[in-house]
Chains A and B, each alone.
Chain A
Amino acid sequence: MSMALDPHTIETEISLIRERESNPFTAGVKANLFTLLVLRSIESDPTKPEDRGEQALQYLLGKRPARIITLHRARTAKTEAWVSGRCFPDRKNRGVCFEEVHIECGDDGLGADPGAWAPLVIRDLPVFAWLVDGMPAPADPWEQTIHEAAGLIDKLIVDSSRFAEADDTLTSLRRLQAAVSETTRLADFAWERGRVLREQSARVFDPPAMRPLLPLCTNVRLYGGSHAEAQLFFHWISTRRGTPIVAEHAYVGPLNEGFRVTFFPAGHPEIDIGCTKGGCLSLGEEKGAYRFPSEGEILLAQVDTPTPDRVFHEVLDRG
């Protein structure tokens, strides 16, 4: 049942849901760990089975109790809210619940204003905001919302793979970082997916004998992965080297389907790293299987650590 966006009514409704879940036949419900604000665009449809936001949340359900506040831009005139709860019993029969507040943000502007939902954020616990559907345009109301709510949010989670390809990934990420306060740090799904690229590259250049080759690699080529994943990888290489590289990228599929990185050290043979679903191979040696994290696993890791990723921010600052 929809209700007006009144925090007292919503909190009462949430309390009733918790009470119901704490019935005498269960061992109660676990205390919340954080608040997650899920920001959805007008095109977004969480009811579709393939919706990536919902799939990731499903992965979290039963693992981390939390309050999930969804702000969904809608084509309605009036902002409306729904309250619901989803619980999953743990091994000791305690409910691990999502307290969910779904806000359909209408044309009245109410839902986009943090004043409307800020009282629903649980105090003294980390607050994460997740832009499920890519980067808002500069004049997009979501960016204004993020800016105004910056003091509330500890970490803003985005996926730069969903930004428009024409945009420079780093420029867009920096713009987003500038829109929030210094104390709100960015996290990026694309960066997390690119971990395999960085780890495999680091393994190649980590042995002392290989280290002198990295500064000689002025050219790097990547087949596979999204534009943003490639950009972030190239910028990471640049910050490791201390100088920019000439980069070449071609999309042949998502990273978890496989990729190939080739480094071209001047005066030396090229260095190839290839990964498929079956495992990785570099310098002619099998490097074993590599497991790509799912969207849910990435989200879980992000909400488990309020800490910003130091290397990612180094790349943002210096890349």
Chain B
Amino acid sequence: MVGLGLPREPQPLTLVIFGASGDLTRRKLIPALFSLYIKGSIPRVRIVGFARRDWDTAAFQGLVRQWLDGEEAPAADAELKDSFVKGLGFIRSSFEDAAGYEEIRTAYAESPNRIFYLATPPDAYQTIVEHIGSAGLADQSRGFSRIIVEKPLGRDLASARSLNDRIAHAFPEQQIYRIDHYLGKETVQNIMLMRFGNGMFEPVWNSRYIDHVQITMAETLGVESRGRYYESAGALRDMMQNHMLQLLTLVAMEPPVNLDPDSIHDEKVKVLRSLAPIASHEVSTQTVRAQYARGIVEGAEVPGYTEEDGVAADSGTETFSALRVSLDTWRWSRVPFLLRTGKRLSRRTTEISMHFKRPPLLLFADRLPSATPPNVLTFRIQPQEGITIGFNSKIPGPTTQMRPVNMDFSYGSAFGEDLPEAYERLLLDAMLGDSTLYMRKDEVDSAWSFITEILRGWDSTGTPRLESYRAGSAGPTAADSLLGAAERRWRKL
């Protein structure tokens, strides 16, 4: 009816979660789906767990019911929780067993629309995708069929392409949803809206006014139970290749011609393709890698990386990496993008900060500390999502002294409702067929192309050397060498 805004609601569909017994399902997927359920966003979605565990549907339902009482799940009445779990299905099968896939077709035939969520280790992807294809479940002749895959999407350009090819064997590109949960966060989505939905930012969003950009993704956690996986990944593969470069694309991209997913992906890919490659002879000056040593984080003593379970005592894997990146575009010519990510740092924070150039004439140079950063616009992505603008102001009284002050927008205090979890938005988008917040194949390829060059440089030159940093610190001081100018400083963690 004209004028009546209807909520976005997916068509009837079956969502099959491979790896239904895993941590991702428990911590992220089920809470997000339950949150959508209690909001009435997915009334016609059937959720089916697929795992080799010796469970039946009732056992799976019982387990999920327990998960819903955990702190990850949104608070709700017991009746709602009961009705949610009552709709859950379960298929007990190994990923190699064709019968399990046949059961999807026969036991859950009420809807022709299907989404397959691979919440499994990536080495299982090929088997699962092949079986889905063989069972004809990727076919879209009666309804849609989509697949959602989690990182890591390869460990270099060649393996990423190979993985893509294998998935593409069964699913055409339009049916593949490559998830990067950071893109589902409100503040990340807000970068584009703020840039292109306001008149005041774009005019200064370029090399004429911006001195440099910092992107920081700091964790207080160590590798936890993922030591074995992390040994083969490291910070560059685990965070930089996906989350960090995705954030960079949103900050640096040109305005898309419209809001179609492909128009946005096109602009993001342009950014990734304009990344000046860091060649082997440049890795020692444009990259830093380091590993955390024993220290104190959030009030507790924590072991060093090499003391973690599943980690070799002589491990050379980096838990911190920092890059100095350039974009060969008119807009960003000679503006360094400084990226850093690390584990076991002093504070958990993800943020993007735009550091403006100083005024051309420093009338008040002697009234400001030299180390004070010039104007900074910061997108706080987590925690305390919001935006801060830092500038300098006169100290009240008979003086011309200045001090830095902040203007703050905080989602928590500006809007009454809690921010939705990233997975909630992303799952709903996949159900609705909106891939804007997912990664397209050429984005993944371009990101890996850039990162693989660095990995090659590290391997071939053995530089930069692996630094050490104390757990609970702000990372290695060697990262300062990337700043490139005496007055630049990394933002304090």
Q: A119-B346, A124-B378, A183-B489 are in contact. Are A308 and B369 (CB under 8 A)?
A: yes
Q: Assess whether A148 is in contact with B298, with CB atoms less than 8 Å apart.
A: no
Residue B366 at the A interface, CB < 8 A? Answer: yes
Q: Assess whether B296 is in contact with A116, with CB atoms less than 8 Å apart.
A: yes
For this complex, into which size category does the number of interface residues on chain A fall? 20 to 34
Least distance between A40 CB and chain B CB atoms (Å): 20
Q: A124-B406, A125-B406 are in contact. Are A305 and B401 (CB under 8 A)?
A: yes
Q: What A residues does B401 contact at CB under 8 A?
A: 304-305, 307
Residue A245 at the B interface, CB < 8 A? Answer: no
Q: What B residues does A8 contact at CB under 8 A?
A: 298
Least distance between B412 CB and chain A CB atoms (Å): 11
Residue B65 at the A interface, CB < 8 A? Answer: no
Nearest B residue to A151, CB-CB: B474
Q: A124-B378, A305-B395 are in contact. Are A113 and B298 (CB under 8 A)?
A: no
Chain A window 179-196, contacts with chain B (Cβ cutoff 8 Å), 1 for yes, 0 for no: 000010100000000000
Q: A307-B367, A308-B369 are in contact. Are A126 and B404 (CB under 8 A)?
A: yes
Q: Assess whether B301 is in contact with A310, with CB atoms less than 8 Å apart.
A: no
Residue B236 at the A interface, CB < 8 A? Answer: no
Residue B27 at the A interface, CB < 8 A? Answer: no
Cα-based distance from A185 to B492 in the complex (angstroms): 16
Q: What B residues does A119 contact at CB under 8 A?
A: 220, 298, 346-347
Q: A113-B472, A114-B472, A310-B366 are in contact. Are A123 and B299 (CB under 8 A)?
A: no
Of residues A123, A304, A306, A308, which shows the largest number of chain B Cβ atoms within 10 Å of its Cβ?
A123
Q: What A residues does B472 contact at CB under 8 A?
A: 113-116, 118
Q: A118-B472, A124-B406, A148-B473 are in contact. Are A110 and B367 (CB under 8 A)?
A: no
Q: Assess whether B395 is in contact with A151, with CB atoms less than 8 Å apart.
A: no
Residue B390 at the A interface, CB < 8 A? Answer: yes
Q: A113-B472, A114-B472, A151-B474 are in contact. Are A307 and B369 (CB under 8 A)?
A: yes
Residue A7 at the B interface, CB < 8 A? Answer: yes
Nearest B residue to A121, CB-CB: B492
Within 381-422 of B, Cβ neighbours of A (below 8 Å) are at 388, 390, 395, 401, 403-404, 406
Q: What B residues does A152 contact at CB under 8 A?
A: 474, 492
Q: Assess whether B403 is in contact with A305, with CB atoms less than 8 Å apart.
A: yes
Residue B470 at the A interface, CB < 8 A? Answer: yes
Chain B window 450-481, contacts with chain A (Cβ cutoff 8 Å), 1 for yes, 0 for no: 00000000000000000000111110010000
Of residues B220, B299, B472, B474, which shows the largest number of chain A Cβ atoms within 10 Å of its Cβ?
B299
Residue A5 at the B interface, CB < 8 A? Answer: yes
Cα-based distance from A110 to B302 in the complex (angstroms): 11
Residue A137 at the B interface, CB < 8 A? Answer: no
Q: What B residues does A121 contact at CB under 8 A?
A: 492
Cα-based distance from A93 to B489 in the complex (angstroms): 39
Cα-based distance from A115 to B347 in the complex (angstroms): 9
Q: Assess whether B403 is in contact with A124, with CB atoms less than 8 Å apart.
A: no
Cα-based distance from A47 to B94 in the complex (angstroms): 67
Q: Assess whether B403 is in contact with A115, with CB atoms less than 8 Å apart.
A: no
Residue B354 at the A interface, CB < 8 A? Answer: no
Q: Assess whether B369 is in contact with A306, with CB atoms less than 8 Å apart.
A: yes
Chain B window 31-66, contacts with chain A (Cβ cutoff 8 Å), 1 for yes, 0 for no: 000000000000000000000000000000000000
Q: What B residues does A6 contact at CB under 8 A?
A: 298-300
Least distance between B122 CB and chain A CB atoms (Å): 33
Nearest B residue to A34, CB-CB: B403
Residue A104 at the B interface, CB < 8 A? Answer: no
Residue B204 at the A interface, CB < 8 A? Answer: no
Q: What A residues does B371 contact at CB under 8 A?
A: 154, 183, 185
Q: What A residues does B372 contact at CB under 8 A?
A: 306
Q: A185-B369, A307-B368 are in contact. Are A4 and B403 (CB under 8 A)?
A: no
Within 152-194 of A, Cβ neighbours of B (below 8 Å) are at 152, 154, 183, 185
Q: What B residues does A154 contact at CB under 8 A?
A: 369, 371
Cα-based distance from A305 to B474 in the complex (angstroms): 25
Cα-based distance from A38 to B300 in the complex (angstroms): 22
The residue that B301 contacts in the complex, of A4, A110, A114, A125, with Cβ under 8 A, is: A110
* Additional A-B contacts beyond A115-B297, A152-B474, A304-B395 (9; CB < 8 A): A4-B299, A7-B299, A110-B299, A115-B472, A118-B473, A119-B347, A152-B492, A307-B368, A307-B401
Q: Which residues of B contact A (CB under 8 A)?
A: 220, 295-301, 346-347, 349, 366-369, 371-372, 378, 388, 390, 395, 401, 403-404, 406, 470-474, 477, 489-490, 492-493
Q: List 7 A-B contacts (CB under 8 A).
A: A115-B472, A118-B346, A118-B473, A124-B390, A151-B490, A306-B369, A306-B404
- Which 6 pairs across A and B sit closest by C-beta, in order of nearness? A115-B472, A5-B299, A115-B296, A118-B346, A183-B371, A113-B296
